[in-house]
Chains A and B, each alone.
Chain A
Amino acid sequence: MSTLEVSDIVAGHGQLQAVHGVSLTARPGEMIFVAGANGAGKTTLLRSIAGDHMATSGKVVLSGVDISELPAHHRARSGLSLVPEGRRLFPHMTVRENLMLGMSTSREGPWTVEAIYEAFPNLAKLDNSPAGKLSGGEQQAVAIGRALMGDPVAVMLDEVSLGLSPAAVELAYDALKQVRDMGLAIVVVEQDLSRTLNTADDIIVMCEGNVTLHAKPSETSLEQMASASFGHEEGH
């Protein structure tokens, strides 16, 4: 059974329709990449799945349970986590306090602050520092850790590598691969196409709110993905 099954999400902002019926499926231990240019509707799609933005229509099923009608905090408590664009840490709180807020889902699971520090060894020494003082890579690690503290079954991450140094991006993806291997379903929004091709288990490319390419990395190429992100659908 798939962990996260999203079908026909339609979402918009007022008059503007940003997502025109997008579907995706993520199975346990699978990392799905959603790629596409700015304004393709990737962030709106993720926010609609997480309930941060209310979709006009469409269905979100998590571990076999329909959560489409639930508000964001109930979706989080059902085990669906979103690491939002820009990390959105609480800058005046310490790293530990930010991580502990992740426990607000009240779910059972393996994650504790110490387990996060084992997965991200560079965070341990920052335990008591205000999150706002951290570097971008460290903040991304805290944001991922905070999501994991809620013991989710599926994690979505918006623009993982935006504003990070190449080394920090590498660290973030190493951690995500560990998490994937623990059996979580992961959905990543990423603009870096070669990173997408190298890391993904399944790729979706969006343009102007539509899916223009859906393929396994072995079945597609950088060129195909690039042309799909500019709106050329496969087979047209």
Chain B
Amino acid sequence: MTSQLINAILLGGYYTVLAIGLAFMYSVMNVINLAHGALIILAAFGLLVLSSIFAIPLYLAIVIMICVMFGLGLFLHRFVLSKASQGGELLPLLATFGMAIILDNLMFQAFGADSNSLAPLVGDLSWASFELPGNIYIGQISVYILMAAIATIIALEWLLNRTDLGRRIQATSQDRATASLLGIDTGRTLAIATGIALATGVLAAAALGLRSAWGPYDGSAQLLFAFEAVVIGGLGSMWRVMAGAMILAIAQSIGAMIHPQGFLICGHLAFLAAVFIRLGGNGFSLPGLLGKGAQT
């Protein structure tokens, strides 16, 4: 039981890494990026190509991909999101949904349907484990992923609340017109925010590739877990996203204990419960669903 709980928390660490970019983008720009999962898969392929074909060490490949995805984020905002978000709440959803389909199929075209993994690149680490008292073994990679999740949240919270750029991002997200009147280039600020959101996806890609395997169409599954974690936790602070991810992972683990196929079902049930609690009979709205009332 203790072992299952610890493993659920470690799984929650992975879901946190998945969800951070999605939550960041919605809280700053009011855009739910349905291509979030596909972009993570893209980053994973990027890591694979860099480290297996160009023989670049994985940590360096991660740094390179963070820069690449940041640049892609600037591009994405400039040419897709800034235009789409002028058309209301629905248009960015459709635009990013379309982008996800295009990306999925381009990746299938380029890399085929094979399963890929980054685990072979790290040798022993992929099965190394820590031994805890009571004969409990936990995978080292999962621990590092959880630490990466916490470090990313601390970094983002610091950026948002303690730096000039962060205050400009918040000002732009809360009141774009007033932000421009103060001399803030809101377009550039939001482009940087999109870049940051996509850059965090590289950590998710590395986590995905190291702990398991992926194929070109696995983006939607990652998106689903990320979205569920965000809805369960609610927005307002990145720590809530982490709480949501933990609840999702614990619900899934309990499900798996009850029945071998209960893993996904219990996760979805936790998600549905969160949806009902959040909407609370007030009718459907995205801000309501994502608990955006208490913005930091």
Contacts and interface: CB of A to CB of B under 8 A. Distances in A.
A100 B164 contact: yes
A73 B185 contact: yes
B167 A102 contact: no
Contacts of B184: 73, 101, 104
Given A52-B177, A84-B178, A88-B175, A76 B183 contact: yes
A105 interface: yes
A97 interface: yes
B174 interface: yes
A102 B182 contact: yes
A82 interface: yes
A103 B185 CA distance: 13
Q: How large is the interface on B (under 10, 10 to 19, 20 to 34, 35 or more residues)?
A: 10 to 19
B183 A77 contact: yes
A173 interface: no
A50 interface: yes
B183 A52 contact: no
Contact of A82 (B167, B168, B181, B185): B181
A90 B183 contact: no
B4 interface: no
A88 B180 CA distance: 12
Given A52-B177, A100-B167, A104-B168, A92 B296 contact: yes
A82 B180 CA distance: 10
Interface of B: prevailing SS: helix
B186 A90 contact: no
Contact of B182 (A51, A71, A104): A104
Interface in A47-72: 50-52, 71-72
A105 B168 CA distance: 12
Contacts of B174: 90, 92
Nearest to B186: A73
Interface of A: 50-52, 71-73, 76-77, 81-82, 84, 88, 90, 92-93, 97, 100-106, 146, 150
A150 B182 CA distance: 7
Given A90-B175, A100-B167, A146 B182 contact: yes
B180 A93 contact: no
B181 A105 contact: no
Given A84-B178, A93-B167, 10 more contacts: A73-B180, A73-B181, A77-B183, A90-B178, A101-B171, A101-B184, A104-B164, A104-B182, A104-B184, A150-B182
B170 A90 contact: yes
A128 B182 CA distance: 21
Interface string B158-174: 00000010011011001
